[in-house]
Structures are given as C-alpha cells and as structure tokens.
Structure 1
Amino acid sequence: MTRFVTPLLRGIIVILGLAALALGAGLPLVARDIAEAAPEFETIRLPYVAAAEAALACVLIALLALWILLGRVRRDRIFSPASLRWVDAIISAATAATAMTGLVFAHQMLAPVPGIGPAAWPLLLLVLAGIGFVLTMLVMRRLLVTAVGLRTDLDGVI
C-alpha cells in the first residue's frame, strides 16, 4: 500500500506547494489592483499581504515537513524520536498560520475597514479550522511519542 500511497501523497504535496508559491507570487499584484480600484483598502494592503505571505510560508514549511515524514514512513523510520521534530514543525507552522489569520480577523472586527463587512467572518472559520488542526496534530504527536516508546521497548526485547 505504501508504494501507491506515498507517491500519490507526494504528488499532492507538489501540487499544493506549487499552488502556494503561485498564490504568494500573485497576491501582491492582486492586492495592488484592488487598492487601485478601491482606495479605502490601500492602508491595509501591505499588512494583509504580509500576513498572507507569512501564512503561505507556514504552509510550505508544513508541506516540507510532511514530505520528510513520508520518506521516513517509506524507509520504516517513522517510529523514531527524529520524526518528532518534523511533527513539531507542522504544529508550529500551523499555529503560526492560525495566529496570522486570527490577527487579520481581529483587526477586521476591532478596526473595521469600510467595504469589508461580513467578508471577515469566513476568516473565523479558518481560525477555528486551524485550531482544530493544531489540536488534532498535538494528539497525533502524543500517539507518536507513545509508539516510539513502544518501538524502543520492543527493539530492546528483540
């Protein structure tokens, strides 16, 4: 099964990574066009683009860590302490991206920009999804810690 699933997942990671890079490259251009068409957005253009670029960088970091973890699965080395740092990288990147999204949402709620209105509410869904993902990854990390301990004990017996 790993022979089929690993290349498939790596293909998906490549597609997502390329999409994130393309989005990161195009975002400043789109933001500039929006600010030219609606000058009231000029004041938030740079901070929001910076937050989005930082969140996209976090996505790329998480994808890289996932790529490395898939390689560890393929080589049957996933249940080792070295895998934990890559899971930690995913958790840290997801936490940072969620924080960026939360900051943008909080700004839109506390200092509303004319014309945005209810468009801020989908950001709340992203924040909640990010929190759910981070919490799920923390549970998965704990399971990996337990599995690493059991694997170490089993290797000691054998």
Structure 2
Amino acid sequence: MLTPYVPSLRAVLIVLMAGSVLSQALLPLLAQDLGGPYEETARLVAPYSVVGILVIVCAQVALVVIWRLLSLVANNTIFTVRALRCVDTIIACGVAAALLPAAVTFHLLVIVGVGGPGVLFLLAASVAGGAAFVLLMATMRNLLRAAITHQSELDEVI
C-alpha cells in the first residue's frame, strides 16, 4: 500500500534529520555564546551542550523509527508486533527528551541558583509538553494494539 504520502513523509524526515544534524553541530557554539560570558554558567556550557545533543539524538532515533513505521505502512504490515516495538521506542525517546531538559533546568534553578521566570517556564513546558507527547503516544500504542487484535481476529475468520 504505497500511498503518495509515504514518499512525501520520507522527504520531510530527511529534511528533519539534516536539520537535527546541523543543530547538533551548532548547539555547542550557541551554548558558548549564551552561557560562556557569565562566570556562574561558564563551567556548565560543556555538560549542558552534551545534554542538548542527547535530546537531539532522541529526536533522531524517533525519526529513524518513524521511517521504519512508514516502511511497514508501505509493505502493508503495520498491524504487527514490530509496529508496537517501534511505538515503544518512540515513547522511550519522548520520555528521555522530556526528562533531560527538565533535569537541566532543575539543576540550573535549584543547584546552581541561576535563572528566573524564563527558566522556570522552560521547566514547566518541558514537563508538560513531554507528558502530553508520551500520553498521546501511549494512547496511539493502545489503539494500534487493538487494531492488531482486530486484524488477527479478522484473519482467523477469513
């Protein structure tokens, strides 16, 4: 079932992957520009850059898994256990991508004692956005599991 959407979505995934690689390359430079001039945060530039790069890696893994899901759609095998494993991987990436920035902002506010309303807002947005994404993906996973069950029941009848 190769729909016209699959090649279009793959093109978008390629652009997103290229943008994420560029972001990984530029992130340490941006972190140095933002945190380097201040002595309170200068020592945090490298570890926070690593955390930022890890968040981007989570997004890249999710993009690769979405590519795999598109392959399952194209082969008309989306209603299989392999698809559930793919969705589980996306959920794990979402959890990690939400917790890492939350940990950094918590560290910045509580341990380092630097920041203000903007950093607190970033913490709230990271937790709320990450929770919403993970809950949405968990719901989609349950729908996929139900569809797999119905598909196997239909296969038994036919």
What is the TM-score of this pair, normalised by structure 1?
0.90
Aligned position for 2:17: 17
Residue 126 (1) aligns with residue 126 (2)? yes
**Stretches of structure 1 lacking an aligned partner (at least 5 in a row):** none
Superposition pairs for residues 109-120 of structure 1, below 5 Å? 109-114=109-114, 116-120=115-119
Aligned position for 1:66: 66
Q: Report the Cα offset of residue 2 of structure 1.
A: 5.6
1:59-113 superposed Cα distances (whole Å, 9 cap, x missing partner): 0000100111011111111001111111111001111111101101211231345
What is the TM-score of this pair, normalised by structure 2?
0.90
1:37-71 superposed Cα distances (whole Å, 9 cap, x missing partner): 33332121122111111111100000100111011
Residue 37 (1) aligns with residue 37 (2)? yes
- Paired AA for residue 118 in structure 1: P
How many residues are paired up? 157
1:91-145 superposed Cα distances (whole Å, 9 cap, x missing partner): 011111111011012112313454x323311342132111100001001101111
**Stretches of structure 2 lacking an aligned partner (at least 5 in a row):** none
Look up the SS of the partner of 2:40 in the other structure: helix
Look up the SS of the partner of 1:125 in the other structure: helix
- Paired AA for residue 152 in structure 1: S
Query: Do 1:79 and 1:144's aligned partners in 2 also have CA atoms closer than 8 Å?
Result: yes
Q: In the superposition, relative to structure 1, how do residues 154 and 69 fare at CA in structure 2: closer, same or farther (>3 Å)?
A: same
| Aligned residues: CA RMSD | 1.8
Cα distance in structure 2, aligned partners of 1:123 and 1:19: 24
1:15-57 superposed Cα distances (whole Å, 9 cap, x missing partner): 1111111111111122233444333321211221111111111
Query: Do 1:105 and 1:124's aligned partners in 2 also have CA atoms closer than 8 Å?
Result: no
24-33 or 136-145, larger mean C-alpha shift: 24-33
Q: Report the Cα offset of residue 156 of structure 1.
A: 1.2
- Paired AA for residue 50 in structure 2: A
- Paired AA for residue 10 in structure 2: R
Cα distance in structure 1, aligned partners of 2:122 and 2:2: 36
